[in-house]
Amino acid sequence: MEIFPAIDIKSGNCVRLLQGDFDKVTVYGNSPIDMAKRWASTGAKNLHVVDLDGALAGDGVNEKVILDICKVVNMDVQTGGGIRTMADIDRKLSLGISRVILGTAAVENEDLVKEAILKYGEKIAVGIDAKEGKVATAGWREVSTLDAVDFGKKMASFGIQTFIYTDIATDGMLSGCNVDAMRIMTEETGVNVIASGGVSSLDDIRKLKDAGVYGVIIGKALYTGHIDLEEALKVAEG
């Protein structure tokens, strides 16, 4: 299993949101670059970076910071937030980002997904953010009638190989993750699922690993000290 420390960027700071609510922000540092170096120093190979301002604005507000992160750490960096066009995708992948995550754009523009997969293959991932099993978009402010698993199946049929699957109800709550939802998405789609939301202990990581989940994003639990990243990496590798 792969571990992805998370860096969410808002107004240039490292932050965490509570259940995706932009009005419930906790700042954990003013240098995303320093935070990336910190996680790299533990031996982590992957990094999950989200441009929260970009998710709201629809373009890469914090793109320069994210590209600077790619330059200073020897990690595979996946990023999402405000990626809406092929030009956005081309630019990010040309500058060192390993995987681009399409969220709202994947829901609203299936042709973009198909074009991106045709050109970049496994470097394209789809972020599926779900609230009570339904897909949410626009920085989680809007919830559709689209069933998350059905949407996952459609994206898999286009050739998507990786999902970042977030359970909004558990995100930032340190209450444990929705293991069943992650297992079902994995089994129903046959795609690599990176679980996000609510991971608060090493036991959560073990449960997700047993469920066949490909990877796990750890955010708030790292910043609060509930999970030690080195220990998490050992569990994932063991």
Domains of the chain: 2-237 (3.20.20.70)
Instruction: Pick the catalytic residue from 8, 167, 171, 204.
Output: 8
- Give yes or no for a contact between 112 and 86, defined as CB atoms under 8 angstroms apart: yes
Q: Look up 8 and say whether it is catalytic.
A: yes
pLDDT of residue 55: 78
Burial label, 7 (beta-carbon count in 10 A; 0-12, 13-18, 19+):
buried
| Residues contacting residue 64 through CB under 8 Å, at least 6 positions apart | none
Residue ranges for the chain with pLDDT beneath 50: none
Instruction: Pick the catalytic residue from 51, 53, 88, 129.
Output: 129
Q: What is the pTM of this model?
A: 0.92
Task: Report the relative pairing of strands 142-147 and 162-167 from DSSP bridges.
Answer: unpaired
Q: Look up 21 and say whether it is catalytic.
A: no
pLDDT digits (tens, 9 = 90+) for 74-124: 999 999 988 999 999 999 999 899 999 998 889 999 999 999 999 999 999
pLDDT of residue 24: 81
